């Protein structure tokens, strides 16, 4: 990375300068909001403001950096100045003051000595803390990440492998579809032979695991070597374990020779484990100069990967290696900044190909795109769900949600496998607590820990928030109170009430113990001892003395974000209040599609209507950077 695009804080910024005596009320309010809500942005603004001469420009700097800090907190990669300039109240970014119009704001930003204008120049001696591209303002390292990500994906997309001939594996991939439908699974297998980068996307039940198993079978038959090194990874331990288990079963069912079957791992790793995160240095062991020893990497649940981790992953993968990305672009974006998969899978890039690629894949002319896009030929969108019907139940709710079709969604609330609990009814909340209690009894009565884990996936309560009303904390506390009143034996561990059959979830990474953020476990008694059990992605069932592990919490209720990569027989969903910024289409869609057979919704109708009508948009320039690269 260049010196100008180095990490923002290579050294601690100097102490904030004292506010001038004549600072106006708006500026003092802005500073207070910065300090309270965006401390990193406050420190940066007060460090940079020392390089600004006039008080008016200092005020602009504070407002702009505050808004950028808030944008990053909300998951945006950059601040879209065109969106915020000139607005009287920037309430989305916790600013209740006016920013100048777009032209004056851009002129001010371009004049700051610590801003690199990507369309211009900056003094050689200056250090870039911020980067400007068009009307998008970035922290310098985010702009650098975005450009490196675009270039890496583009390079992998155009590095074509041997052209597809009559490979036996591809020819054997036959799925019974309607006569007039495209077999997208077969297209994905054939397409994987045309470049190092394959992106296979689709909703739940569309056969992503089946497809990748056939892709790997095809690759292994082409390579014809038992030394071919394949890696499997996902953002969370739960997602990694689920992918590995499903994929192992599919590979075992295939007719690959046994020596080639052994090339496919039976376990998967979290991305942090794969890249070997080193907490002491806050760096990964594997990177561009020390790449992974892999010939092919399969990554599931790609929608959960933030931009910084995505760059680290791509740069640690050798240039010759194949990369297969799997995910659902309509799910919630990553917790941290970025929404990479959704950026790559814009609507006009799905189920569309260049004329040349459509010919190689033997696809109808209807899929030929009139507007070329850099990664268009690398993306295959699996469109048929083998789990849900589009016109009933979970399938109808999910489809209506994605399309923003409230009448269809409201009609779906009456389906037999959908239960709607109106928040206005007093008993609605108690109905969910009763369901949690029944689920706990089901787990606690299991004959052994294996049966307990099987029963754990039968039901899950999902909430948007971790704290306050209608949150995971609230429902977990209600369950603890109910268990305590029931006379069940309890013990207090790390200030939380614990008991036999209690589901838990890790909130941090403990690599030495093989535990990672999002791993699900159960407190289960065996031989008179209460043990903390986890179903590890790498080691299978492992147990600990509960007091020996830190960073786990009760998981009768978990957040919708934490549920990504998981499936349950039934889910209950609690939506946040109407004015919550979490009330989005992607949140509701993600929660609904965690269920395989039944969904319960606890919400007010206006909350559901707002969620269906509100797509979550994250600002970035990734797609523009990709489009600027040669096709």
User: Is the CB of residue 619 less than 8 Å from the CB of residue 79?
Assistant: yes
Question: Do the annotations mark residue 610 as ligand-binding?
Answer: no
CA 293/CA 313 separation, integer angstroms: 13
- Output the six-digit token pair for 170: 């591809």
The DSSP letter of residue 85 is: T
Q: Could you tell me which residues come within 8 angstroms of residue 255 by beta carbon, excluding any fewer than 6 positions away?
A: none
Answer for the pair 596, 567: CB distance below 8 angstroms, yes or no: yes
**209 labeled part of a ligand binding site:** yes
Distance, in Å, from the CA atom of 428 to the CA atom of 593, rounded to the nearest integer, reads: 22
239 contacts: CB under 8 Å, gap ≥ 6: 300, 301, 304, 518, 564, 565, 566
Q: Show the tokens assigned to 128.
A: 């870039």
Do the annotations mark residue 206 as ligand-binding? yes
Structural contact between residues 505 and 562, judged by C-beta atoms closer than 8 angstroms: yes
Residue 208 marked as a ligand binder:
yes
Helix (H/G/I), strand (E/B), else coil: 561 = helix
CA distance 478 to 468: 13
Cα separation, 303 vs 62, in Å, equals: 33
To the question of whether residue 207 is assigned a binding role by annotation, the answer is yes
Burial of 456 (0-12, 13-18, 19+ CB in 10 A): buried
Give CA–CA dist 480/504, Å, rounded. Answer: 12
395: Cβ–Cβ under 8 A, 6 or more apart, which residues? 385, 387, 388, 389
Q: Which residues pair with 463 in a beta bridge?
A: 559, 574
Q: Is 590 annotated as a binding residue?
A: no
Q: Is 584 annotated as a binding residue?
A: no
Q: Which residues, at least 6 apart from 310, have a Cβ–Cβ distance to it below 8 Å?
A: 149, 338, 340
State how far the Cα of 87 lies from the Cα of 38, in Å rounded to an integer. Answer: 20
**Number of C-beta neighbours around residue 29 at 10 A:** 13
Torsion angle defined by CA atoms of residues 523, 529, 535 and 539, in that order, rounded to the nearest 10 degrees: 150
Do the annotations mark residue 630 as ligand-binding? no
Q: How far is CA 561 from CA 255, 273, 297, 392, 594, in A?
A: 38, 20, 24, 25, 11
Interacting residues of 444 by C-beta distance below 8 A, sequence separation 6+ = 452, 488, 500, 501
Separation between Cα atoms, residue 228 and residue 222, nearest integer Å: 11
Q: How far apart are CA 331 and CA 341, in angstroms?
A: 10
The side-by-side arrangement of strands in the sheet containing 79-80 is 79-80, 136-139, 130-133, 115-117
The binding site for ATP comprises 202-209
The binding site comprises 202-209
């Amino acid at each position: 990375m260049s010196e100008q695009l180095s990490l923002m804080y290579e050294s601690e910024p100097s102490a904030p300068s004292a506010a001038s005596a004549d600072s106006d009320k708006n500026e003092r309010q802005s500073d207070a909001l910065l300090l309270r809500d965006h401390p990193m942005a406050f420190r940066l603004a007060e460090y940079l403001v020392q390089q600004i001469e006039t008080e008016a420009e200092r005020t602009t700097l504070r407002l702009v950096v505050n808004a950028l800090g808030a944008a990053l907190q909300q998951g945006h990669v950059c601040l879209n100045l065109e969106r915020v300039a000139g607005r009287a109240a920037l309430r989305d970014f916790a600013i209740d003051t006016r920013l100048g119009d777009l032209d004056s704001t851009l002129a001010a930003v371009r004049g700051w000595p610590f801003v690199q204008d990507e369309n211009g120049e900056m003094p050689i001696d200056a250090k870039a803390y911020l980067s400007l591209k068009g009307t998008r303002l970035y922290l310098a390292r985010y702009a650098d990440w975005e450009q490196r990500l675009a270039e890496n994906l583009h390079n992998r997309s155009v590095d074509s492998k041997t052209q597809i001939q009559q490979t036996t594996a591809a020819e054997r991939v036959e799925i019974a579809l309607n006569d007039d439908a495209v077999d997208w699974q077969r297209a994905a297998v054939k397409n994987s032979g045309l470049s190092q980068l394959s992106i296979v996307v689709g909703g739940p039940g569309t056969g992503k695991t089946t497809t990748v198993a056939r892709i790997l079978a095809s690759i292994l038959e082409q390579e014809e070597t038992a030394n071919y090194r394949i890696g499997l990874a996902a953002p969370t331990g739960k997602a990694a374990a689920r992918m590995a288990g499903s994929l192992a079963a599919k590979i075992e069912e295939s007719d690959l020779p046994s020596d080639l079957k052994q090339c496919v791992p039976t376990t998967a790793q979290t991305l942090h484990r794969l890249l070997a995160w080193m907490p002491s240095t806050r760096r990964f062991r594997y990177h561009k100069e020390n790449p992974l020893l892999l010939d092919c990497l399969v990554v599931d649940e790609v929608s959960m990967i933030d931009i910084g981790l995505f760059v680290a992953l791509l740069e640690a993968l050798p240039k010759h290696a194949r990369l297969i990305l799997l995910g659902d672009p309509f799910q919630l974006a990553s917790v941290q900044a970025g929404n990479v998969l959704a950026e790559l899978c814009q609507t006009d890039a799905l189920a569309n190909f260049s004329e040349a690629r459509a010919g190689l894949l033997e696809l109808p002319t209807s899929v030929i795109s009139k507007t070329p896009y850099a990664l268009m030929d690398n993306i295959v969108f699996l469109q048929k769900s083998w789990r849900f019907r589009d016109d009933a139940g979970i399938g109808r709710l999910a489809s209506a949600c994605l399309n923003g079709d409230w009448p269809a969604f409201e009609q779906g609330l009456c389906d037999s496998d959908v239960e709607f609990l109106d928040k206005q009814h007093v008993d609605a909340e108690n109905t969910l607590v009763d369901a949690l209690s029944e689920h706990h009894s089901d787990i606690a009565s299991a004959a052994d820990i294996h049966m307990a884990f099987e029963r754990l996936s039968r039901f899950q309560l999902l909430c948007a928030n971790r704290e306050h009303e209608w949150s995971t904390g609230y429902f977990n506390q209600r369950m603890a109170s109910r268990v305590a009143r029931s006379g069940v034996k309890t013990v207090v561990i790390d200030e939380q009430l614990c008991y036999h059959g209690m589901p838990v979830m890790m909130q941090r990474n403990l690599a030495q113990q093989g535990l990672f953020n999002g791993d699900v476990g159960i407190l289960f008694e065996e031989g008179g001892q209460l043990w903390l059990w986890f179903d590890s992605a790498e080691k299978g069932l492992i147990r600990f003395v509960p007091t020996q592990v830190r960073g786990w919490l009760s998981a009768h209720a978990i957040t919708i974000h934490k549920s990504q990569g998981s499936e349950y027989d039934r889910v209950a969903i609690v939506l946040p209040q109407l004015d919550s910024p979490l009330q989005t289409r992607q949140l509701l869609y993600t929660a609904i599609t965690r269920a395989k057979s039944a969904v319960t919704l606890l919400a007010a109708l206006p909350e559901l209507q707002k969620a269906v009508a509100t797509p979550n948009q994250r600002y970035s320039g990734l797609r523009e950077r990709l489009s600027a690269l040669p096709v």
